[in-house]
Amino acid sequence: MPARPRLSRARRVADAADVADLRLLARRRAPRMVFDYVDGAAEGERSMARAVEAFDRVEFSPRVLRDVAAAPTAVEILGRRIAMPLVLGPTGFTRMMHREGERAVARAAERAGVPYTLSTMGTTTAADVAAAAPDGWNWFQLYVVRDRARTLETLSLARAAGMDVLVVTVDVPVAGARLRDVRHGLTVPPALRWRSVLQAVRHPAWWFDFLTSEPLRFATVDGAPDDLAGITNLMFDPSVTVADLEWIRSAWQGRLLVKGVQRVDDAKELAAVGVDGVVVSNHGGRQLDRAPTPLELLPHVVAAVGDRTEVFLDGGVRSGADVAAAVALGARACFVGRAYLYGLMAGGEPGVRRVLDLLHAELVRTLQLMGVGGVADLGPDMVRIRER
């Protein structure tokens, strides 16, 4: 019996049926230490697991005999219409996953009609992201560092690149203990030590891309540190308070979101000071283990802040059905990170495009099967989170 022809990587990416398929492809292509940087979380990884598990407990209550021939997914967030309630969230060291890094992600977001958020810890400048996706809605994510002059310079560069939404991440006063990275001895850029040499033999395509592309460096903060946690603890300011947020507000002329909200009272305080949105998030489980589960907290935050500010969800989103559940529970849109990084690792920009195509198709199908004529018709009566 003749052997089956081996499919090319591009074909396998195009044939992926869901994000889980792309995760498997990413694991095969990338060295284990790179894959684990994306796939892992803090300490026992309970926060990450619980965020995903909460979506597993979602139960829909579908209507029948409704006209669902069309199920539009477009929504308005922060005064602008986007193609579906999805934001590609900020991720650090993105060119470590694929040589095109942030440029590839921004182009895929532009094509899909959704925002892309460049991280302070990104490996591409704001100007280069704007050049790669000039018609995209490009946002910038800020970590407040000890050097306030550097923060002002960072904001100026983002504004000069046309970015008009600032996402201030507030759940990283110090670095979380990401034990997979510790065990691998991960550095940025990855160093060819004895363990990584063995991984290079098993993943030659990734290492060829890495060794023949532009050296991996932080584009906003200086240098390429050996110790990932070290730069966080050295540069990021653990003394930041609401007063500092008001200072940032005075220096930033665009919209302002605060990401990392994990308590209702914090959400209420942020709404009171006039931020444009809060992102219910536990940093993908990468900071505090045993943190609140975003999907479970979401309805309480929505009820507490009312119409005073827009509420977004981040954490555990792996499918279009997850997006539908979060929107039904009150989220204006969902941030995703790991999902698109799996696509990027698996196949570069086509991999990210495949993730976005899958999420959109899954969202449309879920709306139709729920008997909903579009995202705007989703409501809390259509979904519940089952007890464990």
Residues noted as catalytic:
283
φ, ψ of residue 166 to 5 degrees: the values are: -110, 130
* Residue 296, token pair as written in the block: 């479970």
Q: Cα 299 from chain centroid?
A: 21
Whether residue 189 has a cis bond before it, omega within 30° of 0:
yes
**Residues 273 and 245: beta-carbon distance below 8 Å:** yes
- 96: DSSP letter: G
Full 3-state SS string of 205-241: HHHHHHHHCCCCCCCCCCCCCCCHHHHHHHHECCCCC
Adjacent-strand bridge partners of 145:
236
* Residue 200, token pair as written in the block: 């290079």
> Please, what is the end-to-end C-alpha distance for the chain in angstroms?
49
- 371: DSSP letter: T
Separation CA 349–CA 241 (nearest Å): 38
